[in-house]
Chains A and B, each alone.
Chain A
């Protein structure tokens, strides 16, 4: 009864707001019309030709999942608040999971009501980027304002809540934990790096793009599922919103009118605290959804193999033996097991006291080349709101963790001054992702690898690799086919990503654990087969049907043709002559060392 009473109040409120001309959360199967592109600084070939219809496709898919979540909410028996501290007995887990799902797929959580978190993170790719042509070209996904976009690939949600709060481990001498490629979502306040991660894209100028975190509370206050939020968190939406709040929240962040401020909505301290608390609960709910058995279920073929319910194929087993043996992948992508270096060696190690998450939660500079296709390089002029995303153009270099530790351009503030000293030994380092679900695709495009039919993904922080074959080949031969060229300028007769790897974007701290692994072409393929065995949703009783939730929500087209070794090479573009690295990157103390960033 309480839920329906709250829903009635919300409906009345929504009607009143409609009369007043204040936008409210509408449930619609039609995506909100995208504003006419206000910003297109790109030369031909950077934006894919099918960008607009593909954006519309993903928006429809997002809305479908949102509506599905609404139905789940309506079917949820009302849990009882009992005990002390008060706990939602029985249905608490479901309530938080559904709330997280609703918010994750709510397109109203952006100024133009056209971009949810899920736009860049869809289930059928392990909750990473869902547009094949974007994965082939501009790398980063367009934000609420077309066509602002970032510089890196959208990481998978799955198992991201397992990354601990970012810490510097003095015994190991390295950083562990955090979320994002550069670790800037530390989790220090919420004590969850993943919950904090959900708080960044809504106010990232290149992504969902609100100008103020309070906009989340504002939009939630009129959301149809507000009663569920209140059921879970008991949040107080009794906030005195200034009269210009709706207008502010309908304007993308970074706009000149805001003068660089992060809190343009003038709230009283008490109301600002309320909106901050709501925003924390936003992050916590989405993180709970990501941690749930829906998204992070440990249901891959490998998990079934560990339970004795599945026999790895010959190639999968060979790939696994290479993964933990000659290829040495599990030195960083920890599999919770020990290692058998040679084929005749038996694994006699005791099972490690950890679940096989296939990451050490650490960071490494893989020595990847600069990818000139990344959208951010081209955003050097102001858009119609007076915002210039990247005034440095190609003078920008992505130092990853090192930039974050310096609170540098393109990252976020570092909340721990004791860590700044470690920036030079962290330059170029990016997070060691979990390998789980790297190969997840929609069922109708059952692989990431050409000739397919395949779903085109992008790999590594800058999307440089376009197939798992290329990814493994990079680890195997980075230092065998090393040329002092930038991408797009391999010597005649040397195919890039096959017999030519361009030079690293960041020359410092390059990890030499790999680079010449001595793997044959067949051994590379076997490792790819093993990586594919780490995809969740496998049911030994029904091996051809994925059980992964919402795996069937892809409504686009698969690709066919070509070979995985050169997949995507037709979209390689020559890197322009690179200007020296901007002083805003190379000149921030402590300076990069031993080599300055060129």
Chain B
């Protein structure tokens, strides 16, 4: 084991020995926010079938609640994104970036949907970042679009 890791391990162990036997709930303080919260990759279509799509994007850590939501506003009219979906995303306080993924259900086959994505904390407060307008098209029944297959 390397030295820094050994030091870390010792600190961790000593720290745990000093804890009372009744473990306090692991309710850690809110994660720190990146100096500049911005989308660094995407959004893009990860997966689609005739009734479902998953959109993914990466942003610098928005901070705040560990419990976050990936949000998408979408519709078939690029000027009127009438529908909204959101998905639970758990921030990792050790990660400088967060991959957001949102699940959109109840779609129609072979239809083009326009969308913008954003994210928010558990209390509904926006992280202050929104993507430009984007689009995807659902495939025919029985088909799938898998843009991120499992690597070999």
Chain A residues positioned under 8 Å from B91 (CB to CB): 331
1/0 contact trace for A177-211 toward B, CB 8 Å? 10000000000000000000000000000000000
- Chain A nearest Cβ from B70, distance in angstroms: 6
A172 touching B1 in the complex, CB below 8 Å, given contacts A352-B28, A355-B16, A510-B88: no
CA–CA, A515 to B87, complex, Å? 12
Chain A residues positioned under 8 Å from B67 (CB to CB): 172-174, 362
Chain B residues positioned under 8 Å from A477 (CB to CB): 150
CA–CA, A513 to B94, complex, Å? 14
A355 touching B23 in the complex, CB below 8 Å, given contacts A173-B67, A480-B149, A516-B46: yes
Chain A interface secondary structure, helix, strand, loop or mixed?
A: loop
Closest residue of B by beta carbon distance from A330: B92
Instruction: Bin the interface of chain A by size.
Output: 35 or more
Picked from B16, B92, B103, B148, the residue with its CB within 8 Å of the CB of A328 is B92
Chain A residues positioned under 8 Å from B35 (CB to CB): none
User: What are the 3 tightest A-B residue pairs by CB atom distance, in nearest-first order?
Assistant: A173-B122, A339-B94, A351-B12
1/0 contact trace for A328-363 toward B, CB 8 Å? 101110101111110000111111111111011110
Give 28 pairs: A residue, B residue, CB < 8 Å, sorted on A. A164-B25, A171-B27, A171-B30, A171-B65, A172-B27, A172-B30, A172-B65, A173-B121, A177-B25, A308-B9, A308-B10, A311-B1, A324-B94, A328-B92, A331-B92, A336-B16, A337-B12, A347-B4, A351-B15, A352-B12, A353-B19, A355-B16, A476-B150, A479-B47, A480-B148, A510-B103, A512-B100, A512-B103
A339 and B27 contact, CB distance less than 8 A: no
A351 and B51 contact, CB distance less than 8 A: no
CA–CA, A360 to B56, complex, Å? 25
User: Is A384 an interface position by the 8 A CB rule?
Assistant: no
A162 and B66 contact, CB distance less than 8 A: no
Q: Which of A28-36, A231-239, A518-526 lies on the face that meets chain B?
A: A518-526
- Chain B nearest Cβ from A84, distance in angstroms: 22
CA–CA, A434 to B82, complex, Å? 41
- Chain B nearest Cβ from A311, distance in angstroms: 7
User: Is B151 an interface position by the 8 A CB rule?
Assistant: yes
Chain B residues positioned under 8 Å from A354 (CB to CB): 19, 23-24, 26, 28
Chain B residues positioned under 8 Å from A2 (CB to CB): none
User: Can you name 4 extra interface pairs (CB under 8 A) apart from A510-B87, A516-B56?
Assistant: A308-B9, A351-B8, A351-B11, A521-B152
Picked from A298, A339, A355, A594, the residue with its CB within 8 Å of the CB of B92 is A339
- Chain B nearest Cβ from A301, distance in angstroms: 13
- Chain B nearest Cβ from A340, distance in angstroms: 8
A339 and B146 contact, CB distance less than 8 A: no
Chain A residues positioned under 8 Å from B100 (CB to CB): 512
Closest residue of B by beta carbon distance from A349: B94
User: Is A365 an interface position by the 8 A CB rule?
Assistant: yes
A479 and B1 contact, CB distance less than 8 A: no
1/0 contact trace for B53-91 toward A, CB 8 Å? 010100000000111001000000000000001011111
Closest residue of B by beta carbon distance from A192: B22
Instruction: Tell me the chain B residues, 101-152 only, with Cβ under 8 Å from chain A.
Output: 101-103, 105-106, 121-123, 146, 148-152
- Chain A nearest Cβ from B45, distance in angstroms: 12
B95 and A328 contact, CB distance less than 8 A: yes
Closest residue of A by beta carbon distance from B11: A351
Chain B residues positioned under 8 Å from A346 (CB to CB): 4-5
CA–CA, A439 to B134, complex, Å? 44
Picked from A162, A338, A484, the residue with its CB within 8 Å of the CB of B23 is A162
CA–CA, A332 to B88, complex, Å? 12
A361 and B65 contact, CB distance less than 8 A: no
1/0 contact trace for A8-23 toward B, CB 8 Å? 0000000000000000
The residues of A with any CB-CB pair to B shorter than 8 Å are 162, 164, 167, 169-174, 176-177, 291, 298, 305-308, 311, 324, 328, 330-332, 334, 336-341, 346-357, 359-362, 364-365, 476-477, 479-480, 482, 484, 507, 509-513, 515-516, 518-521, 594-595
CA–CA, A177 to B92, complex, Å? 19
CA–CA, A19 to B66, complex, Å? 63
A595 and B106 contact, CB distance less than 8 A: yes
Closest residue of A by beta carbon distance from B7: A351
B25 and A331 contact, CB distance less than 8 A: no
- Chain B nearest Cβ from A597, distance in angstroms: 13
Chain B residues positioned under 8 Å from A509 (CB to CB): 88
Closest residue of A by beta carbon distance from B123: A173
A515 touching B101 in the complex, CB below 8 Å, given contacts A330-B92, A331-B90: yes
A365 touching B88 in the complex, CB below 8 Å, given contacts A351-B15, A353-B15, A518-B148: yes
CA–CA, A334 to B149, complex, Å? 28
B25 and A479 contact, CB distance less than 8 A: no
A479 and B54 contact, CB distance less than 8 A: yes
Chain A residues positioned under 8 Å from B24 (CB to CB): 164, 354
CA–CA, A350 to B8, complex, Å? 7
Chain B residues positioned under 8 Å from A355 (CB to CB): 16, 19, 23
Chain A residues positioned under 8 Å from B87 (CB to CB): 510-512
Chain A residues positioned under 8 Å from B102 (CB to CB): 512
